Amino acid sequence: MGFYDRLMSLDRRWIYLFVAIAVVLPILLEEFGIPISIPPYVTPEAKSVYTFVHKLQPDDVLFLAIDYDPMAMAELHPVARAILRQCFKKDVRVIISALSQNGPGMAEQLISQTAKEYNKVNGIDYVYLGYKPYPGIVIMGMSQNFKLFFPKDYYGNPLESLPMMRKIRSIQDTKGVIDVAAGMVADYWINDGAGRYNYPLALAVTGVMAADYYPFLNSGQIFGLVSGMKGAAEYEYLAEKDGYMKKEDFIANRSMPIQTFAHVVVILFIVIGNIGYFMSKRKKV
Amino acid sequence: MISYFILNIPSAIPWFDFNRINVLITLAVFFCFLLYFIGRAKKGKSLFIRRIAGLDAIEEAVGRATEMGRPILYIPGIEDMDNIQTVASMIILGNVAKMAATYETPLIVPICRPFVVPVAEESVQQGYLAAGKPDAYDKNSVRYISDEQFAYTAGVNGIMLRERPAANLMFGSFFAESLLMAETGFSTGAIQVAGTANIHQLPFFVVACDYTIIGEELYAVSAYLSKEPKLLGTLKGSDLAKLVIMIILVLGAILITANILWFKNWFFVQ
Amino acid sequence: MTLVEMIWTSSAALLTLFTFSYLYKDNPFYKFAEHLVVGVSAGYFAIILYYGSFVPKVIDTIFKQGWWYYSIPAALGILMWTRFSKKFSWISRFSLAFYMGIAVGVSIPLTLQNYVLKHLVETTRPINFTSLNGIWQFLVVVFVFSTLTYFFFSREHKGAFGVSAKLGIGVLMIAFGAGFGLTVMGRVSLLAERVLFLKDYLVELKYFLYMLFKYGILL
């Protein structure tokens, strides 16, 4: 077997080993006092989501849809947390739903932890609606009247008993929607929510899904797009610059050196594999 | 109940939204295309569909398995029969079964959902019948593995590693397991042909397989093979709709460049 | 960190390592972790569905609020289960027809509006070759057109049409490459988060054991 053929048929466990080294190296360097900090390049689509929240006034109401489950927590929890912190710091009131089937408990944990940090009270500063199945229909219902699908909130309180909900009847009474999603729910928000009722919608999605939503950004159906953990790092970076977060609270930004190193390794292997492919093809000719 | 809904739904929702009349007209035109072509297909009129290149790849894969004396592995995806991709996959399976029966090549069909098992058995049996070899049909060729995604993947990978099929055909709805199966198949040296309409999985199939049938081609292949009037008519109707969209695209770009706005504005949805 | 929190976090770390063991080869530890997550998520979802949907929409409405008409959709839902019976599966078609009728009626016009018309309108923008935006807009129109020709099945890919279809497949491959790259990024993000979790866990574990040792619990 020639050298180039061997390059092409490299045992995948070598790739695992090199990726593992790339992932562990930044952590070890940090332990040995050589921290690697890579400030993210802030994309316009992530900045527009940040600017939207930044421009909200105290007592404005934002709808935050936490539509992911623990499997996508790594990529989406940082951005959901950053948005909640930004809102609570600005005294913007938040209505939250969790339309992913395994996500309600995880969302409740995030909300209660963040609310505790800022002394925010359920029913006055935020309302957590919880989960209902069939997201498309629930979104249409919430766009008309929250009580159609959520007569009570997640904790069992009737919606009319919550002071915050006395003047808010539906999503159309809020300033807009930010959907943090890891599945088909983002499509339902575009189709059945903003597409039908014309309220501002932004998405924060996983890296895998991000490429699918750029056409909606170009067509104006969404006003912003936060893509994966990189997008979350950009959001955290902007939030820290304006004082909504501290560097110690960073989650996504901590992963950026690891991400960078791992990507470099992957790119190197792609280059090596392609060199092997073209050279072995040339040799056969 | 009625009073509950009256109190809770805003009264401003009109019975007919005239701002969306362009959507209604577009929808009506599209439905007319579909109904016209389905009608033509039912009357037995010939509807031309070009031969999809993927069909040649399937034949090549079956031929190679026959030459090497090793089985064909056919994976119909992980979704249930309510998914249109699984339906299309069953049609292709019948055709593959016919080829396998003709060349006397063993066929293995691992299944993820219980409801798909009888349909797959029926497709394979029909294929063997169409090839004139009903006795050669082996009931054990269709095997239920597991409902759970990665348990099914582990089972399929096990089949690939133990039975070493020479051809892996993957048609249907796939998710995260697509790359796991395609990689394992690649490592065994099998020729692989895949097709799915799940866009996220297409890059993995393109990278790991010898030929990939992309998106709508899967439905075109099933329509081409089955000659079922509804499938053919739907395909032709959507082709005509695509042609209209292409014309609107070019015309719209030309007119808007010439600062003529009414054409584009007609399609604008408020 | 309290003892209970340390136990739960240790379980999470252990399950993470069990899952990573698959990288070497399939083994009982990985199988255990996989079956645990499947079982827990199925059980969790069943409870969420029961208390979040079934109780408020069926039990509370029919039996507590006395809205008997909710029994009609409840009956339709129960009739869906007849599909498991060979003799009575035909009954489930009524429920399925009702459900599909509503779903299709709601989604088709909205899908045409949001996935076709809005994108068609936005793709038709002024073209000019004097600015980068104008050239880019021209390329967008050409690429969209050529991708549509690739999926046109009523004509052979020959001549100019064939050239357009070839360009279309090239554009598709670029799109798949972008999707692949983003997927790699997503997967690396998940790995990075898990590794950081393990690192933080080891730091917490070290401190916890130190405290146990310090207070003489661990000799």
Rounded Cα–Cα distance for residues A252 and A241 (Å): 15
For the segment C23-63, what is each residue's pLDDT rounded down to a tens digit?
777 789 988 988 888 888 888 888 988 888 888 889 988 99
- A170–B9 C-beta distance less than 8 A: no
- Chain A environment of B270 (Cβ under 8 Å): 198
Lowest mean pLDDT across B110-114, B147-151, C189-193: B147-151
Give the residue from chain B lying closest to A194, CA to CA. Answer: B270
Query: Which chain B residue has its CA at the smallest distance from A141's CA?
Result: B9
Task: Identify which of B221, B240, B247, B248 has the alpha carbon closest to the alpha carbon of residue B36.
Answer: B240
- Nearest by CB to B8, from A145, A209, A212: name it: A145
B269 touches chain C (CB under 8 A): yes
Do residues A137 and C107 make contact, with C-beta atoms less than 8 angstroms apart?
Answer: no
Among chain A residues, the shortest Cα distance to C190 is held by A74
Band of residue B6 on the pLDDT scale cut at 50, 70, 90: very low
Q: Do A170 and B200 touch (CB under 8 A)?
A: no
Rounded to whole angstroms, the Cα distance separating B211 from B75 reads: 15
User: Is pLDDT larger for residue B176 or for residue A267?
Assistant: A267
Confidence of residue C150 (pLDDT cuts 50, 70, 90): very high
What is residue C211's predicted lDDT score, i.e. its pLDDT? 86
Between A and B, how many residue pairs show a Cβ–Cβ distance under 8 A? 18
Mutate to test the interface with B, among C124, C130, C145, C185 (most CBs of B within 10 A): C124
Residue A231: its pLDDT value, please? 95
The pLDDT score that the predictor gives to residue C217 is 64
Tell me the pLDDT band of B8, cut-offs 50, 70 and 90. low
CA distance A123 to B211: 56
Residue C3 has pLDDT above 80, yes or no: yes
- Which residues of C, range 16-55, sit inside 8 Å of A by Cβ? 23-24, 41, 44-45, 48-49, 52-53
Residue B2 has pLDDT above 60, yes or no: no
Residue C180 has pLDDT above 50, yes or no: yes
| CATH code for the structural domain at B53-226 | 3.40.50
Chain C residues touching residue B150 (CB < 8 angstroms):
34
Q: Evaluate if residue C193 carries a pLDDT over 50.
A: yes
- The answer to whether A24 contacts chain B (CB < 8 Å) is no
**Window from A67-76, A96-105, C98-107 with minimum mean pLDDT:** C98-107
Per-residue model confidence (pLDDT) at position A1: 63
Q: In sequence order, what are the residues at sequence separation of 6 or more whose Cβ sits closer than 8 angstroms to the Cβ of residue B193?
A: B54, B57, B58, B61, B167, B168, B169, B170, B209, B210, B211, B212, B213
DSSP string, B146-178: -SSHHHHHHHHHHHHHHH--SEEEEES---THH
- CATH among 3.30.450, 1.10.287, 3.40.50, 3.10.350 for A44-250: 3.40.50
Q: B199 contacts in A (CB within 8 Å)?
A: 212
Per-residue confidence at B10, pLDDT binned at 50, 70, 90? low
Q: How far is CA C178 from CA A209, A211, A221, B142, in A?
A: 11, 7, 21, 37
| Domain chopping of chain B, boundaries | 53-226
Between residues C60 and B9, which one has the greater pLDDT? C60
Query: A169 touching B, CB under 8 A?
Result: yes
Question: Chains with 3 or more CB pairs closer than 8 angstroms to B?
Answer: A, C
How far is residue B196 from each of residues A150, A215, B77, B206, B215, measured CA to CA in Å? 38, 22, 9, 11, 6
Q: Which stretch, A85-99, B14-28, B167-181, C56-70, has highest mean pLDDT? A: A85-99
Residue A279 has a pLDDT of: 85
- Residue B77 has phi, psi (to 5 degrees) of 85, 180
Report ipTM (2 d.p.).
Answer: 0.85
- What are the strands of the beta sheet with A224-227, ordered from one edge? A126-130, A93-97, A61-67, A177-181, A201-205, A224-227
Asked if B267 and C120 come within 8 Å (Cβ–Cβ), the reply is yes
Q: How far is B13 from chain A (nearest CA, A)?
A: 9
Mutate which: A15, A148, A191, A269, vs B, most B CBs within 10 A: A148
Query: Measured between CA atoms, how close is C193 to chain A, in angstroms?
Result: 6
C67 interaction partners in chain B (CB closer than 8 Å): 1
| B23, B207, B239 member nearest C154 (Cβ) | B239
The pLDDT of residue B80: 87
For residue B181, the model assigns a pLDDT of: 93
Residues paired with residue A226 on neighbouring β-strands, in sequence order: A204
% of chain A residues with pLDDT over 70: 99
Residue of B nearest to C174 (CA): B203
Alpha helices in chain B (DSSP H): 2-8, 21-42, 53-68, 84-103, 116-130, 149-163, 177-187, 202-208, 217-226, 229-257, 262-267
Decide if B9 and A148 are in contact by the 8 Å CB cutoff: yes
Residue of B nearest to A147 (CA): B8
pLDDT for the residue B1: 45
